Amino acid sequence: MMRVWLLLLGALATVGFAFIVLVAVPGVMLQDVPRPAQLQPYTAEQARGREVYIANGCVYCHSQQIRDPAFTTDVQRGWGNRATVPADYVYDRPHLLGTMRTGPDLINVGQRLPDEGWQLLHLYNPRTVVPWSIMPAYPYLFAVRDSASVGPDARVIAVPGKYAPPPGRVVVATPDAMALAAYLISLKRDYPVTAPAGARDSAGRRVAHTMP
Amino acid sequence: MITSARPTPAGAHERADIDVRLRADLSSRGPVLLAFGSAIVWLLVGTVFGDIASFKLHLPDWLVQQAWLTFGRMRTVHLNAMIYGWASLAMVGVSLWIIPRLVHTELRYGRLARAGIWLWNVGLVLGNLGILAGYNDGLEWLEMHRYFADPWLVVGGGLVGIALLVTLMAREVDHLYVSVWYVMAAYLWFPIIFAVGNWPGFTGVESGATNWFYAHNALGLWLTAISLGAAYYFIPKVLGRPVYSYQLSLLGFWSLAFFYALNGMHHLVGGPIPEWMITTSIAASALMLIPVLATAVNHHITMVGRFGALRYSPTLRFVVLGAIAYTAVSLQGMLTALREVNRITHFTQWTIAHSHVGVYAFVTFVMFGSIYYILPRLVQREWPSARLIQWHFWLVLLGIALYVIALTVVGVRQGLAMLDPQVSFQRSVEVTIPGLVARSVAALALTAGHLVFVWHYWLMVRGRAPARETLVFHEARPILYEPEPEGALR
């Protein structure tokens, strides 16, 4: 090759083509993904919990996607009742689909483990409830305070066994811990979305279906 | 056309050739040393954070009291320090050194390039401190803050790119050697994909697709491109033998540019994005066979019959192993993209092993080899100790081998356990523990290797090493070199 402009234009063309195929065209196609009626936007607290989830890198060990039962056993494992579809993620910015399952998938964790007390205890130290867990403990999302100084509004976590605080002191959830638990409990994509491909609602918009 | 003809008894032409190279090296000396120096600081940072993250996976109650010490932040700084700090800045150094040499002129706008490297470093410091403080954009490979950190990298990388482009336009050769294609294209590709990846407007699965469009191309069109450019330079250079086939390098370059860019969605196989996008990426991944074979034939056939040279050239050792790792990681990547393999290996430690074959055994090895070649020509001293290079080489080679084998094996076991609904999830965690512990042992070996390398580098740049007249591995019998022209450090 002798010409710089040919090199640079060619290089621009290849990356431009990939951009069109993988970013621009899907962008247009996914524009009218309908918002499922049963899926609520995140509340302010849940959204804050999502920020805590991101800031602490939960995504590096937990995925948020159920794959096609014909292809994997995600559904048989009890992680969801169906494969997730684009419509399930319309409020997710950024996406948290994830690439690792060092821990279990979380897209339906709110359906599986809806108890706030369990979630908080598990965040304080996962081994209090799951002895074999290798998930990090998150004590910094909690405060250990004198029991006398704790007001009635504080969310006190009863920590059993060897992770319990010293006598006279209690473990109190911070707002970040409460928000994270609220976000986790909100994760549910169990409403039915099955519809024939290409189906449209009364307004003429496409209806979500399992295999887009 | 290779810049280095086999050295013959010095004639006027050869002397002029050497003079061109000396002038090129002198012109790029400052920016290249700055890039290498900061790359090595980031190598150490990335190593420490990687070590801590590795130990945390099997010691989950270790260092948990402070938010900034949590696994999710340590791991993220490890990745960003290694990709944008170590690998990218080492590649900037290699680019700034290689382009003037290949186009037979001095580096232009060296001060601009130097400013670019400083800006890039500022962005990295801000981005990584931000991650530790909890400011994370939430996208893998794009965690550094989109407004406070990333623009510094765009401007910094852009300034380096401008210096390279101006140098290229002032070239005194007609032909552009294959390394020039890879390096110059990479400086065009990177800002485009980085801007797309950071674009804030994407929601839901579109955000996922854009994320992996970027992250896969950061590997393919940035790290791989410049590392292949370096391998294309150093293998023929050290051997004194042209690359096997010009046509194959042409095919390899354009097919890589076309197919690699389309690969990203194979990170989402089975996921909720439109099926045709995933299929496109799987097909493109399979078609990567074309550039990979073209490049493999070119690199490896050039070596055939010359493997003895690995004994005396540390550069060749690292770069050739890096080139072999490139072939291996690409074949593994194609395999992993296939649905039948992916349903087992996706979401497991297999992926972590795979990415380290790419970024460590390939990219990092090529960078080590490049620095072993370039630094003596910048500081006009030979490496003081063959033994330190041997220690470095064997520690990192055995370290990465253990790393990859351990995580690949437990990754498959983890994947098979997760695929069987009769097997508890607990089992899929337990089978990984031996591999995670072995990985921490491997991490310590890599760390030791890095410390040896950094110490040796320090001796070189601080001038604590005695000047040497002979090649560092002169005790191994040189099998290729004929007598050198007097006074020329090749």
Contact A89 B205 (CB under 8 A): yes
Instruction: Give how far A88 is from chain B: nearest CA, Å.
Output: 8
List, in sequence order, the alpha helices (H) in chain A. Answer: 4-19, 25-29, 44-55, 109-112, 116-124, 175-186
Question: Looking at the partner chain, which of B204, B277, B343 has a beta carbon nearest the beta carbon of A95?
Answer: B204
pLDDT tens per residue across span A80-135: 999 999 999 999 999 999 999 999 999 999 999 999 999 999 999 999 999 999 99
* Arithmetic mean of pLDDT, B235-242: 90
What was the pLDDT predicted at B472?
Answer: 62
Query: Searching chain B, which residue's CA lies closest to the CA of residue A6?
Result: B181
Are A97 and B272 an interchain contact pair (Cβ–Cβ within 8 Å)? yes
**ipTM for the predicted complex:** 0.91
CA distance, residue A140 to nearest chain B CA (Å): 6
State pTM to two decimals. Answer: 0.92
B111/chain A closest Cα distance in angstroms: 23
Model confidence at B296: pLDDT above 70: yes
Q: In 3D, which of B105, B98, B104, B128 has the Cα closest to residue B35?
A: B98
Provide the pLDDT for residue B399.
98
Which of residues A152 and A51 earns the better pLDDT score? A51
Contact predicate B228/B326, CB 8 Å: yes
Which of the residue ranges A150-164, A182-196, B387-401 would you say has the lowest mean pLDDT?
Answer: A182-196
Which tokens in the block code for residue B259?
């197919």
Which comes out higher in pLDDT, residue B174 or A128?
A: A128
pLDDT value at residue B489:
43
| Tokens (6 digits) for A8 | 């640079």
**Closest CA in chain B for residue A97:** B208
* B205, pLDDT greater than 60: yes
Tokens standing for A208?
A: 């979500």
Contacts of A183 (CB under 8 A, 6+ apart): A42, A45, A46, A47, A48, A49, A50, A52, A53
Residues constituting chain A: 212
The confidence score (pLDDT) of residue B486 equals 43
Query: Rounded to an integer, what distance in angstroms lies between the CA atom of residue A36 and that of residue A26?
Result: 20
Q: What is the pLDDT of residue B3?
A: 42
Give yes or no for residue A20 having a pLDDT over 50. yes
Quick one: tokens of A143? 């405060």
Phi (first) and psi of residue A145, to 5 degrees: -125, 160
Q: Six-digit token pair at B404? A: 């990859």
Contacts of A4 in chain B (CB under 8 A): 168-169, 176, 184
